Chain A
């Protein structure tokens, strides 16, 4: 899953640094992701994992690192 998340970030996150070099817990906003880019990341994640992030998850923190994105996706896909 981390690989899919990284490739989505690479394509849509508009990060200022190489996605490969990012630690799982690294702050994506500090790495240059804007709010606008984060929306594209959300859309790509929804499409890739066939999930819909409920509004309660649409917060900065949830999309703030690879680890937090993975947790959110895992929560939504749990029990499939």
Chain B
């Protein structure tokens, strides 16, 4: 028997400790600026800088490339704690982790991309996502634009409808058809490095909620090294990683928004109870109901996060590209996006006018506005239409 004295990550870097650090950033930094971020529709610089200084933008990068290799389910838990404090911070963090997950899971065979991931751990590059495109809306599996390869180089232009934190990001991951004559669904994913692209802002981002994600439309113009085109078809990246990871991290941060709203409602009911000891305030029954709704949401989000983590970890390509897995991941997105709105709305009813006011400690306007983005981030009807067609052939055996 050999005893391995490999350089074990120190205690300070165990996943649960990292989660505790993110929780601290959530309460001590993200929450403090959340209001201002929302009001001014400005990027949550303080919280993202704090996350960078703890090395969190490289959380998913495996230890073989110098990262902490945090399990995916832990990253989902980080999105949840951030979501409780500042939805915009949580969404920026979540979107970035989706991009890193795609690189980590589909770029390991490329020396150039491995170098990039090492650099990402060191420099904490922030990566934005460019899937949506003028003309195709939220249909991620279709592109109008294409990569044009010229020897070792490529050029790529894209009219993007929405790029969250486009102006603040270092690098971009962009979908495009694999060649000018390729079919609309024959796509690749391309990493655009800072300096290789320019963004021309085509509009504003003055929205109901998720204001701090700073997600206006942009025209992207780029050229780069062809080795930055991921070596596998986007179809595989989407079904094995981008869709399941997106749905789990989004659902997790929506769970955080819901939990944050419930904790305001709880504080409100406790305050009512304290003001009249001996009698149970009528809102307490509604709170009891709300607590059970939150519990169901939490169980379903956690269950699916663990399942996705397990399947992605197993590398079982057949299971990952199966219709039943796609259906479960889509179900999570649709149900969590509805639950978050329902839960925040019920919390508002409990807090009454104190929840409706923007300047009260029980204010629920921001979480309610943020929650309404969930159903639109890839329209639920679009997802349900996909599920409907999959159910025509799925037998559940």
Contacts and interface: CB of A to CB of B under 8 A. Distances in A.
Most chain B CB within 10 A, of A16, A34, A42, A60, is at A60
Interface string B383-397: 000100110111111
A67 B265 CA distance: 59
Nearest to B235: A29
Contacts of B395: 52, 54-55
A61 B185 contact: no
Contact of B323 (A16, A36, A58): A58
Contacts of B396: 55
Contact of A16 (B141, B184, B318, B394): B184
A39 interface: yes
Contacts of A46: 393
Contact of A30 (B183, B324, B392): B183
B394 A36 contact: no
Nearest to B239: A60
A58 to B, nearest CB: 4
A59 B386 contact: no
Q: Is the interface of B mostly helix, strand, loop or mixed?
A: loop
B186 interface: yes
Given A42-B393, A46-B393, A34 B142 contact: yes
B235 A39 contact: no
Contact of A55 (B142, B235, B324, B386): B324
A58 B324 contact: yes
Nearest to B390: A39
B71 interface: no
Contacts of A60: 235-236, 239, 321
A43 interface: yes
Question: Looking at chain A, what size class is its interface with the partner chain?
Answer: 20 to 34
Contacts of B321: 59-61
Interface in A1-40: 15-17, 29-36, 39-40
A31 B183 contact: yes
B63 interface: no
A49 interface: no
Contacts of A55: 322-324, 394-397
Contacts of A32: 183-186
B182 interface: yes
B137 interface: no
Nearest to A58: B323
Contacts of A34: 141-142, 184-185
B138 interface: no
A22 to B, nearest CB: 12
Contact of A36 (B324, B386, B397): B386
B233 interface: yes
B54 to A, nearest CB: 38
A34 to B, nearest CB: 5
Contacts of A15: 183
Most chain B CB within 10 A, of A16, A52, A59, is at A59
Interface string B118-157: 0000000000000000000000011000000000000000
Most chain A CB within 10 A, of B141, B185, B233, is at B185
A10 to B, nearest CB: 15
List 4 tightest A-B contacts by C-beta distance, closest first.
Answer: A32-B183, A16-B183, A58-B323, A60-B321
16 contacts: A15-B183, A30-B183, A31-B183, A32-B183, A32-B185, A33-B185, A39-B393, A42-B393, A43-B392, A43-B393, A55-B324, A55-B394, A58-B322, A58-B323, A59-B318, A59-B322
Given A34-B185, A42-B393, A60-B321, 11 more contacts: A16-B183, A31-B183, A32-B184, A34-B141, A43-B393, A46-B393, A58-B322, A59-B318, A59-B323, A60-B235, A61-B317
